[in-house]
């Protein structure tokens, strides 16, 4: 299934994408794509519904972040060896973990707002893992049983805030609009091998990232197991699993986002995002 949320920010309704690409309204069945809806039983209930019996959503509504009520937005750094090399950093002996503020979450096409004082806003296409079943001290062999599905993430980053301002990476990762999720949450049964998905990103039509989850240092199952040793994972938690090479920071000379740029990105089977870059403003 391809699950989604549509409508105005903060007022999103749950929906699913039928086989013809039509949005079907799920609000008469569930209140949100969140919590128990993401459990195996919750997803099986939705899977048993004939989409043609659900109301068709007319027009071209805004698509919101594909999962609601996210408790934790966990990110993995330097998880592609070639990206680590372009960043001038070594592949870590264990996954680098940092957090992204949940207030950064937005819809896949909502746009990127460059923060006040930013000169180094960058892009990162990433595979997102959405947790469906609570996980604590799980073994790698069982880890994917705790996954509801996958989505596209743009881990937008301000490199000066992240690297040059001391302390945790979180401060360079958490500005408003720095966490586009979606367009869809694609359930795990449709992605039998999350380690073989092509991924790409373009700015103004020029392709900068063109990679595959096959080259991840630490795969999805390992990451879910690993993270569960340090914190319990809850339904709706999102894990951004790292980015392949081609980020702006790694280019020579570096290239960063400016107002008016248009960013397009996607992952095989998970859909595409498109964001117009704009400046911060006091009313933003």
Contact criterion met (CB below 8 Å) for 174 and 96: no
* Distance set, CA 159 to CA 115, 204, 242, 261 (Å): 12, 20, 15, 18
CB neighbours (10 Å) of residue 275?
25
Q: Decide if pLDDT at 282 tops 70.
A: no
What is the rounded radius of gyration, in angstroms, for the C-alpha atoms of the chain? 18
- pLDDT at position 166: 87
Average pLDDT, the chain: 95
pLDDT band at 253 (very low <50, low <70, confident <90, very high): very high
pLDDT band at 284 (very low <50, low <70, confident <90, very high): very low
CA 43 to chain centre: 20
- Cα separation, 280 vs 284, whole angstroms: 6
As to burial, measured by CB atoms within 10 angstroms (0-12 exposed, 13-18 middle, 19+ buried), residue 222 is middle
Q: Decide if pLDDT at 45 tops 90.
A: yes
Q: Over the stretch 54-82, which tens digit does the pLDDT of each residue have?
A: 999 999 999 999 999 999 999 999 898 77
- pLDDT at position 270: 98
Sorted by where each begins, the domain ranges of the chain are 2-53, 73-279
According to CATH, the topology of domain 73-279 is Fumarylacetoacetate hydrolase; domain 2 (3.90.850)
- pLDDT at position 234: 98
Backbone angles phi, psi at 59, to 5 degrees: 80, -155
Strand partners, 13: 6
- pLDDT at position 91: 79
Q: Decide if pLDDT at 89 tops 90.
A: no
Q: Which residue has the higher pLDDT, 80 or 269?
A: 269
Q: Decide if pLDDT at 283 tops 90.
A: no
Q: Over the stretch 4-26, which tens digit does the pLDDT of each residue have?
A: 999 999 999 999 999 999 999 99
Residue from 125, 134, 149 nearest 43 by CA: 149
Q: Over the stretch 144-196, which tens digit does the pLDDT of each residue have?
A: 999 999 999 999 999 999 989 987 899 999 999 999 999 999 999 999 999 99
């Amino acid at each position: 299934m391809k699950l989604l949320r549509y409508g105005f920010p903060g007022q999103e309704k749950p929906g699913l994408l039928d086989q013809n690409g039509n949005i079907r309204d799920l609000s008469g069945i569930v209140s949100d794509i969140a919590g128990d809806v993401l459990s195996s039983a919750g997803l099986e209930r939705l899977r048993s519904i004939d989409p043609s019996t659900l109301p068709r959503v007319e027009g071209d509504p805004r698509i919101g972040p594909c999962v609601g009520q996210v408790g934790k937005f966990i990110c993995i750094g330097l998880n592609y060896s070639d990206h680590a090399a372009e960043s001038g950093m070594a592949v870590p002996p264990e996954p680098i973990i940092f957090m992204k503020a949940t207030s950064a979450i937005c819809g896949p096409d909502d746009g990127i707002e460059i923060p006040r004082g930013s000169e180094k806003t960058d892009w990162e296409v990433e595979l997102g893992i959405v947790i469906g079943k609570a996980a604590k001290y799980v073994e790698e062999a069982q880890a994917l049983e705790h996954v509801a599905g996958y989505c596209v993430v743009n881990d937008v980053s301000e490199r000066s805030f992240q690297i040059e301002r001391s302390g945790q990476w979180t401060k360079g990762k958490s500005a408003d609009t720095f966490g586009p999720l979606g367009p869809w949450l694609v359930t795990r049964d449709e992605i039998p091998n999350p380690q073989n998905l092509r991924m790409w990103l373009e700015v103004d039509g020029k392709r900068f990232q063109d990679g595959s989850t096959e080259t991840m240092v630490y795969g999805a199952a390992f990451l879910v197991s690993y993270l569960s040793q340090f914190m319990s994972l809850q339904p709706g938690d999102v894990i951004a699993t790292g980015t392949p090479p081609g980020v702006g920071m790694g280019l020579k000379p570096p290239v960063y986002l400016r107002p008016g740029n248009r960013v397009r990105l996607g992952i095989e089977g998970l859909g595409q995002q498109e964001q117009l870059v704009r400046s911060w403003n006091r009313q933003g």
